Chain A
Amino acid sequence: MILFKKFKQLDKKKKVEVIISSILTVALMIALPVYAWFASNKNLETITKIKEPGEIIIRAGKRSGETEADSIVNFEMKDIDIESIAGGKPQRFVFSVMPGDYNLGYKIQLAHTTNIPFVYTIYKAEAPDTTGMSEAQLAQLTIYSPVEDKSDKTYYQTVGSALTMTPLNEDDASVVGRKIAKQNDTGDAYKSYSQTYITGTDTPEVYAVPVYLQSGKQTHSGDSADSYDYYILELSWDTTANVNDNYAFKDWNTGKNNKETDIIYITASRQE
């Protein structure tokens, strides 16, 4: 209150001076730190996005009219007519690979046991337009139908020659006369039958060791509307299977209780 009394006692000119100077002082007090804060900004920053990883998916064939291939459950290798295969008529099955959003290169690996002397071949495939095709022409094509509806048929044909599959652990000069997995340690990266299976007195069948075959790099072909690459897996007969009488694959077409089973794995993985 003393300040106010003194303030009132000043004459008008002085009063105006005091008011203006106090306002300016306050303004200065605020402006200085604000400017200093502006001026100290010598950093740069930006933000960017990390893309999600792409997926490689293996599925069954695609029905005509659908945009996505059917799930892998629909890839069935049943009704294999071994007599007709051995007679020289191979059987074919359709599967597909989706390389993912980024269209990366990939390779296909086929691993199979060798109980039955099949020869496995993989071809690239496509679904042609079948309008106007005769019965004879359709008979040449491979049929894909989903599990729940065998009458819903889509036709596929092979494109070009077979994929070159490089065997990783095949024994070329095996004693059984046909190609099975390597039996002995040859210093390869892949363990052989003798390293993997023979422990103590346990000596499982040599045919139980799977043979691994890998393709070269595949890139997504076809138009951008279809994100799948189609393949046909062909089963044909190994004609060398009966060369060596001691190990001949026989009696499969007789009424004996010696049916064989093979397991195959199809894998796709990214390949630069």
Chain B
Amino acid sequence: MNKADGNDVLEEKKTDKRNRKMSIIKIAAIGLSIVFVVLFSTFAWFSMNRDVGTSGMGVTVGSDSYQIVPLDGITSIYQDYYNYMSDNQDTSMVWKMTAENNMENYTGDAGISPGAYGTISFYVKPRDASVNLDLSFEIVGYKYSETTQAAAEEGQDPITTKSMTRVSNELQGYLAGHIFLFETRTPVYDDPESENKKIISYMYSDPILSTTEIAKVISNRTFYKTDENTPVNIYWVWPKTLSTLVDATENAYVTIEPFCENPAYTAVVNNVTTYPARFLYKYSDTETTLTASLLSSQYETYGDLYDRADNEIGLNVSYITLKMTTTETAQTTP
């Protein structure tokens, strides 16, 4: 082995070392870029935050055949209470509220109670010539509670835990029964001919009723205007008394009349007599088959049971969520 050979070996070793260094650097570079890609994509997921549709920007999401577009409004003033739910894994879009279209969650010391009513709206934007959708509405009730524990150490503040717990099935049933959704609402005027006519009440039609499933469904609704925002108005109302649903005016002391006319009236009454446990306090199936005439002739009993169910809701439910799920109906080819 002469000195030149020794140098060659040394050179080879140096080259090898350099090559290994390079490959390590390249691996590191690839690894780093993978990390960055993953980071940025998850960042997009975090920042999405279910809050789609900022004013002015008009970001909307949807699939190929249609989009659901919220109104240009604000999130519910009670949005923070989602943070205290342990079970809500939901990733729905936020339903935006405006001054005219809200569920008493727009401003101030709001909230709903028997007798409350309003409108909530959104847009459907078909991408194709037409799209058929099923719209399903579900109300879920939560009870809010705060528990305070003394601090572990002296001098520290006590720990307050806030939680939102789902209420019992019985109460979920009362909520599904007592909070109504309608597709159409007609105002009743004091003097229809006058120019200064005032609205004294509303008549509702096209009820969205729950069946065996508590969710209220609009089936197979067609939306036509391609690439145009079609407004959908949902009229929500919490009837104050049972006489708003079933005609009980045969009793002299009943002053409130039903807010539906046929065919909506019949549909609503059938819903009450078919699912009485959702309308009447602790109603259990007995031999008595409920009919509209029975509810009216014994209104003292049944109207009171309706009011007591309202009271149960007021005492035991703090907040409710209203969720709309949309799915495309399978189209039938002619």
Contacts and interface: CB of A to CB of B under 8 A. Distances in A.
A44 B232 CA distance: 13
A50 B68 contact: no
A52 B30 contact: no
**Which size bracket describes the interface of A in this complex?**
20 to 34
Contact of B324 (A15, A22, A45, A189): A45
Contacts of B19: 8
A51 B111 CA distance: 5
Contacts of B90: 43, 45
Given A23-B34, A49-B110, A49-B318, A40 B70 contact: no
The range of chain B's interface size is 35 or more
B151 interface: no
B10 to A, nearest CB: 20
A46 B106 CA distance: 11
A36 B278 CA distance: 38
B7 interface: no
B269 interface: no
A49 B30 contact: no
Interface string B296-323: 0000100000000011011101111111
Given A8-B23, A26-B37, A47 B319 contact: yes
Contacts of A8: 19, 23
Contacts of B149: none
B55 interface: no
B57 interface: no
Contacts of A201: none
B94 A46 contact: yes
A252 interface: no
Given A49-B78, A50-B318, A44 B95 contact: yes
Interface string B84-117: 0000001111110100000111000011110000
Q: Label chain B's interface by main secondary structure.
A: mixed
B85 to A, nearest CB: 10
Contacts of B320: 47-48, 50
B324 A44 contact: yes
Nearest to B323: A45
A46 B62 contact: no
Nearest to B52: A41
B229 interface: no
Interface centre among A31, A50, A189 (most CB of B within 10 A): A50
A44 B68 CA distance: 8
Nearest to A50: B317
Given A23-B34, A51-B111, A272-B241, A46 B63 contact: no
B216 to A, nearest CB: 14
A39 interface: yes
A50 B81 CA distance: 13
Interface string A96-131: 000000100000000000000000000000000000
Nearest to B241: A272
A23 B92 contact: no
Contact of B33 (A23, A46, A52): A23
Contact of B104 (A30, A40, A44, A48): A48
Contacts of B326: 42-43
Given A45-B92, A45-B95, A49-B112, A40 B319 contact: no
Interface of B: 19, 23, 26, 29-30, 33-34, 37-38, 41, 44-45, 48, 50, 52, 61-63, 66-68, 70, 75-76, 78-79, 81-82, 90-95, 97, 103-105, 110-113, 120, 122, 141, 240-241, 255-256, 300, 310-311, 313-315, 317-327
Top 4 A-B residue pairs of the complex, sorted by shortest distance between their CB atoms: A49-B111, A43-B92, A46-B95, A53-B314
Given A22-B30, A41-B91, 4 more contacts: A4-B23, A42-B68, A44-B70, A53-B311
Interface of A: 4, 7-8, 15, 19, 22-23, 26-27, 30-31, 34, 37-53, 102, 189, 272
10 contacts: A8-B23, A38-B48, A42-B93, A43-B90, A45-B324, A46-B75, A46-B103, A46-B321, A48-B78, A50-B141
